[in-house]
Amino acid sequence: MVEMLGDRIRMHRARLRMSQGELAKKVGISLTWMNSIECGHADPRATHLKAIAKALGVTADYLLGSTETETELLAAANA
C-alpha cells in the first residue's frame, strides 16, 4: 500500500507542477521525509497524510487507495 500512496502523491504533485520541496514545505516536513514517503520507504503520520491530501486537493482515502475514481474524489473533497 505504501507504493500506491507514493505513486498517487507523485502523480497529483506532478499534475499541479509542484516540486517535492514545495509540497514538503506546505505539509511542514523535510524534503528528505517527503522523498521517503513518495519512494515507499516511509509511512506518513495521519496528520501529515491529511496535510498532503489537502495540499494536493484530494482526500486521504484516495491517497490510501480506498477511493478509486475522480468523481468520488472530487465529491469527497468538496463535501
pLDDT in tens, 39-74: 989 999 999 999 999 999 998 888 988 876 544 555
Structure confidence at residue 71 (pLDDT): 44
In this structure, CATH architecture of domain 2-78:
Orthogonal Bundle (1.10)
Whether 63 contacts 52, CB under 8 Å: yes
Q: Please tell me the distance from the alpha carbon of residue 73 to that of residue 31, in angstroms, as a whole number.
A: 26
Whether 19 contacts 34, CB under 8 Å: no
Give residue 60's identity as a one-letter amino acid code: A
As to burial, measured by CB atoms within 10 angstroms (0-12 exposed, 13-18 middle, 19+ buried), residue 35 is middle
User: Average pLDDT for residues 2-15, to the nearest whole number?
Assistant: 88
C-alpha cell at 79: 463535501
How many CA atoms, within 13 angstroms, populate the side-chain half-sphere of residue 72?
9
Q: pLDDT band at 4, cuts 50/70/90? A: confident
- Decide if pLDDT at 7 tops 50: yes
Structure confidence at residue 14 (pLDDT): 95
Per-domain boundaries in the chain: 2-78
> What is the rounded average pLDDT for all residues in the chain?
86
